[in-house]
Structure formats: structure tokens, C-alpha cells
Amino acid sequence: MRVTSIVLTVIFMLSASCVNAADKDIPEPFRGDDPTSKLSIGYDDLNAFLKPHTFDSGPSTRKKAPESDSNLGTKFKVRVKRKTALEGNRFYFKNLEKPAVVAILKGLVDSLEAFPDQVPLELLNRDEQLAYWLNLYNFALLEQLSTVYPKTSLKNILDYGDDDSILAEKVVTVAGIPLSLNDIQYNILYKKYPGKANIMYGLFQGNIGGPNIREKAYEGDKVWRALEENAQRFVNSNRGTEVGSRGKVLVSELYEHNMMLFGKDKEKLRLHLEDLAVGEVEAALASMKSAKKKIDFDITDWSFADMFGHQRRFGAGYNTNAAALLDSVMSTQVNEEGKSVQVQSYLADDIQTKAKMDIRFTDSELETLMLMKRNFEGNQGSVEIKDLEGSKESKEEK
């Protein structure tokens, strides 16, 4: 056990020195990473919440929604943007009107907030950290949206750039530091992962015109593939891009608020979009002579990405009927006779008890973490970077 402790101390000391230059403007508790770390965070509790609440609508067909039925016996019409009304994954926001469900959601957010108090983030590799921040952002956003639903539009709620926006409010506290959703996006993610534009597609905004919410939480070993899929689906949909008149390409306003990812250069944005686009949009972008003049931020849809926000048929080779919602809340369990049976599993009663550290790691990882945490606490204030200056590892990093 003594040898293991010494080894883990060395691992901690080396990981503490892995602070990228991009991290210098990030709050200290969120700097650094361990590129050799094999620790993976488990999100079964988040998945148990997402599965019955999220509907994957599949890739966009770019079809318009049909016009409202005039034979409904009423003059009431639901106002929707026909070009985007059939697009994007949906969330069952209606359930967030139930205090018990919101309490579960709050418990999950609290669990994510508390995680760095148990395991310093610098002991994880960069992909695990990225998945953590994306999940915290998305669940904290859902919690905030539960306070404003069922407003029909999120335009004045998200209100990009305004101090009154829910994105600007300090809504979580991580490692003792109050953070807003904007802090997570712009001051942590965009600084820790400079130039990684696909990260923007992992930040759910709650509206149809934003990136997809996914049926599963982000996981470190799959996070970049998941972001790539979200990016492709967004770009190749009417909510992301559209070929306009005179060779122009209309793009989502979302890009206007994330131009820092492209150095505020429309040509870099064009290259990014061309890399992801297919068909008519790709051809239009490839033939473009002046991105500055021919890319317009002109697409919006502020409607809630709500599963039952309007009459909608789901298709595209995924779930194709109303029974899909029921299917999403069924699970296979073993009965007393040892037989597998389908049971209703809608938000299991014990989901709140799952939001604990001991389900985020395997038993062996937990044992290792406990040792590393003790060494971390014991070495705080006594381990300095100058102690490593003469080491082989330090010289190689330089």
C-alpha cells in the first residue's frame, strides 16, 4: 500500500504540472488536466432523467411543416415557423411543471456542482472535463428553464448579451466559485479548448433554433463524436443554414453570438460550415467569393424545443409514432421468478439516491481516487512546480 501511495503522489505531482497556456485565464480550480488519466465519470443518473424526457427526431429532411388545419372548429392557431417547426430533438418540458420532477432535476445539478469538491478536475483528462462541463451546463439550463416554462418564446429569456438573461445569472457554484452559464461557455470552455468550434453544438439552449439536446449525457470517451454529430445535424438543417437569393447563405443567429470561435472572421466560419455541410449548402459555400458579403445571420426560432409544443409528426427513420414516448419510459427488469419483463420505469423513485460519487466511478477507480484525494489534500501548499524543474518529465514538457 505504501508503494501505491508513492506512485499516486507522483501521478498527482505530474498531473498538477500539466497546465496549458490556454488555462491561464481560467479560475484556478479549473486549470490543468492529467492526459494519462483513465478515470471516466459515470452519468447513469443523468441518463435515467434524459431518456423519458428526450425525443431524437433524426436528421433534418428540410421539409416545411404543413399549414395549420382550418377545419378544427376554432379560430385559434399555433404560430410556428414552418421551415424549422419539424426540426431538432425535443424535450418534454411539460413535465417540468411538476415540483417532484424539478426536485429531481435540482438534485442532479447539485450532484454535478459538488463533484469537483470530491475529485479535483485536474485529476481528469481533458475529454472527461469537457463532458463534465457540457453536462453541468445543459442540466443547469434545464433547471432554469423550468422557472419560465410555458412561455411561448425564449427570445427575451436567453437574451444574448444582456445582463438580465438567465445565461448571465450566477446559477451554479463549482469548487466555491459562483458561475453563470455564460461563464461556463465563454470563460471556461472556450478558453480551455480554443479553436474547438464544435463545442458550441453541445450547449443546449432550450429553443428549436439551437443545438440538439441528446438522449444521453456526454461521456468523455465519446464526447467529440457526439459533438460532431450535433454539428452535422445543425448545419444540415433549416435551423442552421439555408441557401438564399443571389448566392447568399443564410445562417443561424447562433453563429453571430459565437464568432469569437472563428476569430470574428466570416471566412473562417465559411470554412467551418463547408466542412460540415452537404448538398446545396455545401456547393453554395464552396463557390462563394466573399464570405463577408454573402453570409447573413438571418435564421432564428425561439420556440421551446418542446415535445408537444405543436402538432408534429416525427419521422426520418427514427421513432415514427406517438407510442415512441411510451417505449422510451419502459425498461427490462428481472422479476421474482428470474424472468425478464417490461415495466414502466418513468423516473425511478431512487433516481435521487443515484446522484452520488459512488456511481460515477467503478470500485477500483473509487479506491484509487480516495488515495489520490488524500495525497492531494496532504500535498496542498507543499508541492511546488519548482520541485519538478530538474526532472526529465518537466524538461520534456518544455
Which among 362, 368, 378, 370 is positioned nearest to 13, based on CA atoms?
378
Beta-bridge mates of residue 170: 180
- Separation of alpha carbons 195 and 246, rounded Å: 31
Residue 374: count of CB within 10 angstroms of its CB: 13
- Separation of alpha carbons 233 and 391, rounded Å: 47
String of DSSP letters for 330-377: EEEEE-TTS-EEEEE-TT-TTHHHH-SGGGTS-HHHHHHHHHHHHHHH
Q: Where are the beta strands (DSSP E) in the chain?
A: 54-55, 90-91, 170-174, 177-180, 241-243, 249-252, 295-299, 330-334, 340-344
3-class DSSP state of 25: helix
Residue 198: count of CB within 10 angstroms of its CB: 21
How high is the pLDDT of residue 282?
96
- Separation of alpha carbons 249 and 268, rounded Å: 14
Contact residues for 212 (Cβ-Cβ < 8 A; gap 6+)? 88, 89, 201, 204, 230, 233, 234
- Separation of alpha carbons 305 and 74, rounded Å: 25
Sign of the Cα torsion 224, 226, 229, 230 reads negative
How high is the pLDDT of residue 147?
96
Q: What is the pTM of this model?
A: 0.78
295-299 and 249-252 strand pairing? parallel
Which among 110, 96, 102 is positioned nearest to 172, based on CA atoms?
110
Residue 277: count of CB within 10 angstroms of its CB: 21
Beta-bridge mates of residue 243: 249
Q: Give the three cell numbers for residue 88.
A: 431538432
How high is the pLDDT of residue 263?
95
Residue 297: burial class (beta carbons within 10 Å; 0-12, 13-18, 19+)? middle
How high is the pLDDT of residue 369?
60
**Are 143 and 107 within 8 A, CB to CB?**
no
What's the average pLDDT block by block, 10 residues per block, for the chain (398 residues)?
A: 34 50 87 94 95 92 75 47 90 93 95 94 97 98 96 91 92 98 97 96 97 97 98 97 92 96 96 97 93 93 82 38 37 50 44 51 62 55 35 38
- Separation of alpha carbons 91 and 351, rounded Å: 19
How high is the pLDDT of residue 227?
98
